[in-house]
Amino acid sequence: MGADVMAADDMRIEEKQEKARAEVSARQRLVAAAARLFCRHGINAVGVDAVVVEAGTAKATLYKAFGSKEKLVEAVLEQEGRHWRDWFLAGLDAGDATPLARLRRIFPLLEEWFAQEHFYGCPFINAVGEHDKGDDRLRNLTLEHKRRVMGRIEALAMQAGFRDPQRLSQQLYLLMDGAIVVAMISRDPAAARLAGDAAERLLKDFS
């Protein structure tokens, strides 16, 4: 009898674990599907029906996982931001290079990104542009993403010995944002090279 009870308990535990894995998988599929659709078509143009079809889940699954489309949007931005930062910061820090050489990688990396088939601009810029400008929810997510990237650029500027590394990082980030918007509109990766030329003048000014 005791063995039967233990076996039943093991089955219940295994069923719970399997259910939890399925829920995580469905959540991941929903975020991935929403990211593809939101980035290409825009957040407001894509309804939850399109997301669940793309993800191969039920609408009830979406609402159970996120509660609302707004929370799904936040999850997409958090994931997209994390993936982009991992790629970009790894590119800056790859190999054995001086801080100055790493700063000079910023715009070649952006050009590489702009040349990708599925480059649709910055998800954060696009999301803030689409939404109510009085809504701080997405703005705060965007500012947090920006803070993390600028923090690394500022650290490199400090290590390279530039004067006023904070201001330099702010101006470099402004060039980055400008290049992203121009590349999104023009579909021309060369926008990164133009911004890179301006960045070289900034580096000289702050040296």
At 20 the pLDDT is: 41
pLDDT tens for 136-178 read 899 999 999 999 999 999 999 999 999 999 999 999 999 999 9
Q: Which two tokens stand for residue 60?
A: 């009830």
Q: Note whether 97 and 23 are same-domain residues.
A: no
At 15 the pLDDT is: 47
At 189 the pLDDT is: 98
Domain boundary pick from 43, 67, 91: 67
Cβ count near 94 (within 10 Å) = 11
Mean pLDDT value of segment 94-106 = 96
CATH for 61: 1.10.10.60
Q: Note whether 159 and 109 are same-domain residues.
A: yes
1: containing domain: 1-67
Name residues whose C-beta falls within 8 Å of residue 72's C-beta, 6 or more positions apart in sequence: 30, 31, 34, 48, 51, 62, 66
Q: Note whether 86 and 180 are same-domain residues.
A: yes
Q: Note whether 167 and 143 are same-domain residues.
A: yes
Q: Note whether 50 and 85 are same-domain residues.
A: no
Q: What are phi and psi of 25, to 5 degrees?
A: -60, -45
**Between 115 and 25, residue with greater pLDDT:** 115
Query: How many domains are there within the chain?
Result: 2
Q: How far apart are CA 194 and CA 74, in angstroms?
A: 32
Mapped onto helix, strand or coil, the DSSP state of residue 105 is coil
Whether the Cβ atoms of residue 36 and residue 54 lie closer than 8 Å to each other: yes
Q: State whether the Cα torsion 108-106-172-115 is positive or negative.
A: positive
Q: How far apart are CA 198 and CA 29, in angstroms?
A: 40
At 27 the pLDDT is: 93
Q: Note whether 144 and 186 are same-domain residues.
A: yes
CATH for 102: 1.10.357.10
Whether the Cβ atoms of residue 127 and residue 138 lie closer than 8 Å to each other: yes
**Between 132 and 124, residue with greater pLDDT:** 124
Q: Note whether 128 and 62 are same-domain residues.
A: no
Mean pLDDT value of segment 59-71 = 95
Q: Which two tokens stand for residue 67?
A: 């509660």
Q: How many residues does the chain have?
A: 207
Asked whether residue 129 carries a pLDDT value surpassing 80, the answer given is: yes
Q: Note whether 61 and 107 are same-domain residues.
A: no
At 132 the pLDDT is: 85
At 13 the pLDDT is: 40
Q: What's the pLDDT band for 133 if we cut at 50, 70, 90?
A: confident
At 127 the pLDDT is: 95
Q: Note whether 153 and 61 are same-domain residues.
A: no
Q: How far apart are CA 53 and CA 63, in angstroms?
A: 14
At 3 the pLDDT is: 58
Q: Dihedral through CA 32, CA 107, CA 122, CA 168, nearest 10?
A: 130
Q: Note whether 105 and 202 are same-domain residues.
A: yes
At 10 the pLDDT is: 47
pLDDT, averaged across the chain:
91
Q: Note whether 28 and 79 are same-domain residues.
A: no
- What is the value of pTM for the model shown? 0.86
Q: How far apart are CA 193 and CA 107, in angstroms?
A: 7
Q: Note whether 60 and 99 are same-domain residues.
A: no
Name residues whose C-beta falls within 8 Å of residue 192's C-beta, 6 or more positions apart in sequence: 107, 108, 110, 111, 114, 179, 183
pLDDT tens for 8-50 read 444 454 544 454 454 568 999 999 999 999 999 999 999 999 9
Q: How far apart are CA 185 and CA 125, in angstroms?
A: 13
Q: How far apart are CA 178 and CA 174, in angstroms?
A: 6
